[in-house]
């Protein structure tokens, strides 16, 4: 009997538990309250526009340079980046003549030669967000022993104190004929209508009566 009473006491709910169930039953499952929409503002920074981006890479291994060029083409096609052209500038050869050993071979020397290869990748008409994504991707996958230099040509609007020339201002700047020039042109036209060429007006001698 004692064991049964203990089990009943364990199963019996306490007042605190009943209050919890009542609070849970009051809360609806689906809420019909409307959430106000956030207004979209134009405070965000405008994206940059680049007319051209030049990526110059240099290294010493021709096979690695060729493989990286192929990787860059695949990455550009995947991101929709327009590659204008890829060309190879002339290689730079640096030679160093150093002695073999100071103590043993003082009259003999080695000649070391370092060949630096270049590749230039030109990108045309690209936005700032696309350029940052593409450049970060190819820079993170740059092989060891290679270097990269990026040159950006960004487009900017005209400053506020500069205005493009208008048609009215261009018409006002055109030179106008003065009154004396108009009289000279009328005299030349009258002479030409009388049958005398205009060029002969300055050649005719003065006739005194």
What is the arithmetic mean of pLDDT over 136-161? 92
Largest CA distance in the chain: 165
**Averaged confidence pLDDT in the chain:** 74
Confidence (pLDDT) at 100: 75
Distance CA 168, CA 171 (A): 5
User: Is there a domain that residue 90 lies in?
Assistant: yes
> Could you read off the pLDDT of 77-86 as tens digits, one per residue?
999 999 999 9
Number of domains in the chain: 1
| pLDDT given at position 6 | 42
What digits encode the pLDDT tens for the residues 83-124? 999 999 999 999 988 877 666 666 777 888 999 999 999 999
Q: What is the pLDDT of residue 1?
A: 43
Q: Look up the pTM and report it.
A: 0.54
Q: Would 36 be classed as within a structural domain?
A: no
Task: Please give the structure tokens belonging to residue 88.
Answer: 């190879």
Torsion sign, CA atoms 2, 7, 11, 16: positive
Distance of CA 94 to the CA centre of its chain: 34
For the chain, the DSSP string reads: -HHHHHHHHHHSPPHHHHHHHHHHHHS-SS--PPPPPPPP-S-SPPPPEEEEEEEEEEES-HHHHHHHHHHHHHHHHHHT--EEEEE-PPPEEEEEEEES-SSS-SS-EEEEEEEEEEEEEEEEEEEHHHHHHHHHHHHHTPPTT-EEEEEEEE--PPPTT--PPPHHHHHHHS----HHHHHHHHHHHHHHHTT--GGGGGTSPPPP-
Looking up residue 56, the CATH number of its domain turns out to be: 3.30.70.600
Q: What is the pLDDT of residues 193-209, one digit of tens each?
A: 444 444 444 444 454 54
Residue 57 included in any domain: yes
Domain holding 127, by residue range, is 49-154
Residue with the bigger pLDDT between 60 and 25: it is 60
Q: How confident is the model at residue 192 (pLDDT cuts 50, 70, 90)?
A: very low
Is residue 145 in a domain? Answer: yes
For residue 7, with 0-12 CB atoms within 10 Å meaning exposed, 13-18 middle and 19 or more buried, which class applies?
exposed
pLDDT at 28: 53
Whether 65 is in a domain gets the answer yes
In a domain, 141, yes or no: yes
Reported as a single tens digit per residue, the pLDDT across 120-145 is 999 999 999 999 999 999 999 999 99
Residue 120 lies in a domain: yes
């Amino acid at each position: 009997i004692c064991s049964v009473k203990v089990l009943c006491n364990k199963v019996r709910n306490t007042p605190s538990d009943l209050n919890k169930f009542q609070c849970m039953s009051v809360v609806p499952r689906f809420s019909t309250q409307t959430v106000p929409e956030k207004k979209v503002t134009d405070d965000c920074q405008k994206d940059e526009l680049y007319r051209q981006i030049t990526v110059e890479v240099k290294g010493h291994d021709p096979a690695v340079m060729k493989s990286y060029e192929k990787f860059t083409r695949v990455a550009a096609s995947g991101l929709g980046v327009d590659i204008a052209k890829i060309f190879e500038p002339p290689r730079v050869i640096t030679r160093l003549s150093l002695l073999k050993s100071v103590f043993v071979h003082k009259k003999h020397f080695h000649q070391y030669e370092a060949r630096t290869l270049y590749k230039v990748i030109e990108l045309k008409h690209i936005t700032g967000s696309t350029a940052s994504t593409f450049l970060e991707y190819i820079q993170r996958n740059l092989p060891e022993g290679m270097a990269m230099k990026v040159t950006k040509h960004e487009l900017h609007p005209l400053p506020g104190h500069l205005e493009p020339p208008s048609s009215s201002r261009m018409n006002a700047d055109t030179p106008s004929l003065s009154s004396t020039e108009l009289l000279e042109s009328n005299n030349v036209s009258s002479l030409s209508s009388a049958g005398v060429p205009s060029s002969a007006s300055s050649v005719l001698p003065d006739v005194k009566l």
